[in-house]
Structure 1
Amino acid sequence: MQQFFFSASKEFGAEVTRLLDFVHPATVALWNLRWQVQGFVAATGNATDDDLSDRFGSGSGFPARNLKKSCIETPWADQMEQFAQIVAANVIALYESWAEEVFKNQIGMHGMHHKWVQFPSRGINGRQEKGVRDVLADIHSAGVSPEMQSAFFPVYSASKWNSFAHLDEMVVLYRYHKEIRNSFMHSGGRASKLAEDAWSNASGLTRADVGGRRNPIVTQVTEGQRIAYTMEQASDLAAVIIRLIHSIDAELSSSAYGEQYFLNAWSSWSELAKYKALPSDPIQRDRRIAKICRKVGFVAPADPAAVIALGRSVGLVN
């Protein structure tokens, strides 16, 4: 999952991995804590909250308050919903942050593009403003680099997470989850009209539509009613955002913006002068170019000659 072009995409990959690496064992740990607390209370018959805190919180550095309420009185499904909300809120924030960093800072498109990639394209579900494919069309209209298309696009686009053909459908599913997130944050978990509309748009999506391994889990959302949300749904959301970023990141790699980003990274490399002269032997020359690309933060190119042509055009290699 870590094979990304932009540094913001790599940072996203690291952060979402860190989040999921925490949530998965934390979920299992909570399940086991519930069993242990229930067993301890059943065995002692009169365990107090202080007894439970001493028994299960000792050494953690954090007081274990209200374990009876958390582990006995609170249904497991309610706690899973809380975990699911944590995952959803965080992965959506990561996607929003990634979009702003890539489009505003690393590409330099200081418009609404970082917002529009969070919506399906114009004409989808009645949308009148630009959306994700419109953003990519704007970027491609500014120029596609033949060298980047030949050197890097084949590698980045080959990721198993690349689902470019399903961009709009994935964003429709993302909108469903985001409006649910918004309802939890702003309406106490009761669905807004936007959330109901987003559910209606996403309710017919299948595995074939979104390019996933299974049909997305989309439960009915009705305006004014409380929303039920599960860890399975949060997992769907995380997977679709990962695939969105892989797909968009790969597309951007072949753009004129991607070319400039690559050349900027190469030209600012501290060891640039050391590797400026390329070997005369073709095999050694290709290996040197692959090494340079990896050193400056990219993959070994599918076409080293294209990278050499780029480097020579701006004086980075002889």
Structure 2
Amino acid sequence: MQRFFFAESRSFGYRVNQLFDFIQPASVALWNLRWQVQGYVSAVPGATDAELAGRFSHGAGVRANNLKGVCIDTPWEDQLGQFAQIVGANMIALYEGWAEGLLPKFGNPKRATDVQFPTRGKYGQNTRKGVGNALAEVHSSGISTEMQKAFFSKYSASKKYSLAHLDALSALYRYHKEIRNSFMHSGGLASDRAEAAWLEASRLTKADIGGKSDPILTKVVEGDPITYRIEEAIQLADVIIRLVHTIDSELMYTSYAENHFMELWKGTPGAVRLRALPGDPRKRKLRVDQICKALGFLAPNDPEAVIKLGKNAGLLDFA
């Protein structure tokens, strides 16, 4: 289950689910279409492209003019490679969009790019700031002790939270990002940056990335065509989800996050109406849980920290 603090992160999670809700049945549907077309052509060897299109695409709103080429002449592995490119390109776009939507709110628009690189000095990244630098700068701008007490243990409890592996995951992300760039800008021929990113990623182990298996990689040589497999794209999705979970959790106890939380509280009538706190500790905890739920957050680990925030802002008082 994906549990994110920021709305941008929750939107990212929703979009990832949408992507795989399309890719998974679409790939299964193509697999079955291949068998159906192959079976039909086996029974009717003289079937024309028009006949196949009429039989298999009627009512779809899309005319399939080359079903023999798609379902008979094209190897399944090649089509899985196409699905892999779709998954890879979309996952990277979702990560970029998430970073551009959230990170500039912490004071520096360049951090949206920083979180796409390992920390400076790690995994061959020596010329620019990276994810660790971005988080350190944000934390140095202000930490909220109350937000940390209230929520951090809840949001960092996800199995996807991977602070110890953040730089290695970022290095693996760079491999996929440079492959994506080579497909988009070089006709699928590997760039020098793609080869360099592969070289760094090829040194990673499952211990480095905190995974159950080693990184799934295909050797990249500058100027050669790139082969990209669905297994790689699936691993990329996991890498990016872990990056978002980790960064989201590390940002939720900042001063900005506290201000964001309090502004939502002040602007949510349903939460404001719950201002009277019961004297009974158990009922008081339930009331705080209700407030956080009304704001779209998990129940806090430490309700007293939320009570302190609410009382300081004049949003809570004892009944």
TM-score between both structures, scaled by the size of structure 1:
0.97
Could you report, residue by residue, the CA deviation over 1:194-244 in whole angstroms, capped at 9, with x for unpaired residues?
Answer: 000000010011111101221110111000000000000000100000000
Question: Are the aligned partners of 1:180 and 1:195 in contact in 2 as well (CA < 8 Å)?
Answer: yes
Equivalent residue, structure 2, for 1:277: 276
Q: Which runs of 4+ in 1 moved over 3 A?
A: none
Q: Indicate the residue corresponding to 2:235 in structure 1.
A: 236
| Separation in 2, partners of 1:274, 1:310 | 16
1:85–1:234 Cα contact (<8 Å) kept: yes
Matched letter for residue 115 of structure 1? T
Aligned residue in 2 for 1:317: 316
5+ residue gaps, structure 1, are none
Find the aligned partners of 1:246 and 1:235 in 2 and give their Cα distance. Answer: 17
CA distance in 2, matches of 1:163, 1:2: 14
Displacement of 1:84 after TM fit?
0.5
Conserved? CA contact 2:276–2:316, under 8 Å: yes
Question: Whole-Å Cα distance in 1 between the matches of residues 190 and 30 of structure 2?
Answer: 28
Q: 1:121 matched to which residue of 2?
A: 119
Separation in 2, partners of 1:164, 1:213: 17
- Distance (Å, rounded) in 2 between the aligned partners of 1:278 and 1:287: 10
Structure 1, 87-96 or 251-260: larger mean CA deviation: 251-260
Which residues of 2 match residues 273-312 of structure 1 at below 5 A? 273-312=272-311
Structure 2 match to 1:19: 19
Residue equivalent to 2:102: 102
1:288 positional shift: 0.6
Task: For 1:47, give the aligned amino acid.
Answer: A
Q: Distance in 1 between matches of 2:107 and 2:74?
A: 48
1:35 corresponds to: 35
Is the CA contact (8 Å cut-off) linking 1:169 and 1:209 kept in structure 2?
Answer: yes
Q: What residue in structure 1 maps to residue 179 of structure 2?
A: 180
Three-state SS of the structure 2 residue aligned to 1:275 is coil
User: Is the Cα–Cα contact under 8 Å of residues 272 and 316 in structure 1 kept in the other structure?
Assistant: no
50-59 or 305-314, which moves further after superposition?
Answer: 50-59
State the shift of 1:272 in Å: 3.7
Residue pair 2:118, 2:125 contacting (<8 A) in 1 also: no
Q: Secondary structure at the match of 2:138?
A: helix
CA distance in 2, matches of 1:306, 1:220: 51
- Rounded to whole Å, the distance in 2 between the matches of 1:265 and 1:103 is 19
The residue that corresponds to 1:152 in the other structure is 151
1:111, distance to aligned residue in structure 2 (A): 2.9
TM-score (structure 2 length as normaliser): 0.97
Aligned-residue offset at 1:162: 0.7
Counterpart amino acid of residue 299 in structure 1? L
Q: In 2, Cα distance between the equivalents of 1:130 and 1:77? A: 38
What CA distance in whole angstroms lies between the structure 2 residues aligned with 1:273 and 1:150? Answer: 22
Counterpart Cα distance in 2 of 1:176 and 1:8: 25
Displacement of 1:100 in angstroms is 0.9
What CA deviation, in whole Å up to 9, does each residue of 1:96-150 have, x standing for no partner? 000011112xx34233001100000011114222100110100110111111111
Quick one: which amino acid aligns to residue 134 of structure 2? V
The alignment's C-alpha RMSD in Å is 1.0
Quote how far apart the aligned CAs of 1:63 are: 1.5
1:176–1:199 CA contact under 8 A, matched in 2: yes
Contact 1:49 1:67 in 2 (8 A): yes
Q: Distance in 2 between matches of 1:108 and 1:155?
A: 22
Tell me, in whole angstroms, the C-alpha distance in 2 between the residues paired with 1:40 and 1:276.
Answer: 68
Please say which of residues 250-259 and 169-178 is displaced more in the overlay.
250-259
SS at match of 2:273: helix
Which blocks of at least 5 consecutive residues in structure 2 are unaligned?
none
